[in-house]
Structure 1
């Protein structure tokens, strides 16, 4: 017997079609997130006061950087999902690895892919890799926000059962039980709230202490993701890694939580080192 709950707002996952070519909301979320990040990054890169004495990137650097980041996000996100979330299935059907239009992206994998791309890009342009990572961290919540909204439109990555929650939603593929709209929780926490936190951090510290702003992002995202994981249904093929049950109060450790712990530790270390001036390049390095 279906329990009471809000009906899921049925939205076609295909935003529009041009002949046989279909554009999905999920793909548009990536495009809007990357373009929004590019626009915001260009504005921040043009403000000299935020950078002195760190090397300031040129507007053309940001134009080229977005291509590197896009490749890093897609390749890293897909690789992370295959390795962390569904390795056995992809080993059985390896060609499915390339079917990215069917979904299956990992934020943690995309983060690592983007970070590697940024480091390689910064070295190729003679820029400080940590400050460019700081810049990317500032704009990353834009993509996170639109990505989680796309997850909601697709009716995927739904929340844990919440039959007594007044705003629980019955998802089309989530069974008859009303569930937390955890995608919207993540859009709010990892997207909107983290964006505000990062904007305040940049206004307060700028990019003058390499690694500080990036550390704030790492710690902030990890905290937001771990908190939201308590409302999100674990991936079906993984379930709870340790303990837990279907009940929210029972908790349990999920893959999302586990992958966020190293991010939190790295964030704390980055903040501590940057605050003590340990990440600033030496005078000899700057002269070189």
Structure 2
């Protein structure tokens, strides 16, 4: 027997016309959790080893830049990669973010650009700051995927014989993989542990190393989870499903993750070989 979907109201708090949704709270929890962890990382001088160490106030200001980058980039990415034709037909819908529609890949690029611009304005190493952000990013990914499950969206592929399959209220009577929870586990919890261990082991002494590890780790986790996730309805499987992947075709999530994985490997190689380390920091080490 499939599991019944827990009917959780997507609105966490409602006071008259004012409503706070779990999805919004997930963003808040991710940003606050990342801000708290980032301040602890910034305060440990041994992690920076010759690089300019950010102040607590730098982290406070950075969180605002990152929040804007995530929201603007995430929305732009969804519009461009997932539903461009629909938004071209109704361009005002682009600004209706409360109706859903965010892309991690777009949010990642938006956050990376915001961090690079912020670092330049404060005289900090952009790669090292991206490394720090990469260590805390899985916190937001975890809460975001949990919110996807609560909303009953981004459900998995049909799995009638899987004992822990779930019948989602808007996905028909077919039991499906709870792929949102798979992503929360892989992209969130596991990646958080990997990044925390790597940060303690390597610090930010090789700028770009931890960022590359995060990008590679996320790409691998996302591709694996896409095998269990139903592709977006408006896109379906790419290439007409002619390229098969474990019972289905290639999805947009898989396709966008491939260049991320390659970029991650590239940054890791460059960082290990010392090409990304500022000359003055290398001489001081």
Whether TM exceeds 0.5 here: the answer is yes
2:156 is paired with a residue whose SS is coil
Q: Equivalent residue for 2:256?
A: 259
Point out 4+ residue stretches in structure 1 off by more than 4 angstroms.
284-287
Alignment of 1:63-142 (within 5 A): 63-142=60-139
Residues 88-97 or 152-161, more deviating: 88-97
Q: Equivalent residue for 1:193?
A: 190
Q: Which runs of 5+ in 1 are unaligned?
A: none
Deviation at 1:18, TM superposition (A): 2.2
Q: Hey, what's the Cα distance between the residues in 1 that align with 2:212 and 2:198?
A: 11
1:15 matched to 2:17: no
Alignment of 1:129-168 (within 5 A): 129-168=126-165
CA contact (8 A) 2:237 2:248 kept: no
1:46 matched to 2:43: yes
CA contact (8 A) 1:242 1:254 kept: no
**2:246 pairs with one of 228, 246, 249:** 249
1:242 is paired with a residue whose SS is helix
Q: Hey, what's the Cα distance between the residues in 1 that align with 2:31 and 2:176?
A: 30
- CA deviation string 1:20-55 (max 9, x = no partner): 110000001001100000000000100101111111
Q: Equivalent residue for 1:224?
A: 221
Q: Equivalent residue for 2:170?
A: 173
Deviation at 1:281, TM superposition (A): 1.1
Q: In angstroms, what is the RMSD of aligned CA positions?
A: 1.7
Deviation at 1:284, TM superposition (A): 9.6
Q: Hey, what's the Cα distance between the residues in 2 that align with 1:132 and 1:119?
A: 8
TM-score (norm 2): 0.96
Q: Hey, what's the Cα distance between the residues in 2 that align with 1:248 and 1:169?
A: 22
Residues 250-259 or 165-174, more deviating: 250-259
Q: Hey, what's the Cα distance between the residues in 2 that align with 1:270 and 1:156?
A: 34
Q: Hey, what's the Cα distance between the residues in 2 that align with 1:75 and 1:243?
A: 30
Residues 234-243 or 124-133, more deviating: 234-243
Aligned residues: 283
Query: Cα distance 1:196–1:241, how it changes in 2: closer, same or farther (>3 A)?
Result: same
Q: Equivalent residue for 1:271?
A: 268
Q: Equivalent residue for 1:202?
A: 199
Q: Hey, what's the Cα distance between the residues in 1 that align with 2:49 and 2:132?
A: 14
Q: Hey, what's the Cα distance between the residues in 1 that align with 2:96 and 2:20?
A: 15
CA contact (8 A) 2:157 2:177 kept: yes
- CA deviation string 1:170-213 (max 9, x = no partner): 00011110000000000000000000000011011000000000
Q: Hey, what's the Cα distance between the residues in 1 that align with 2:68 and 2:230?
A: 29
Q: Hey, what's the Cα distance between the residues in 2 that align with 1:165 and 1:284?
A: 53
Q: Hey, what's the Cα distance between the residues in 2 that align with 1:17 and 1:8?
A: 22
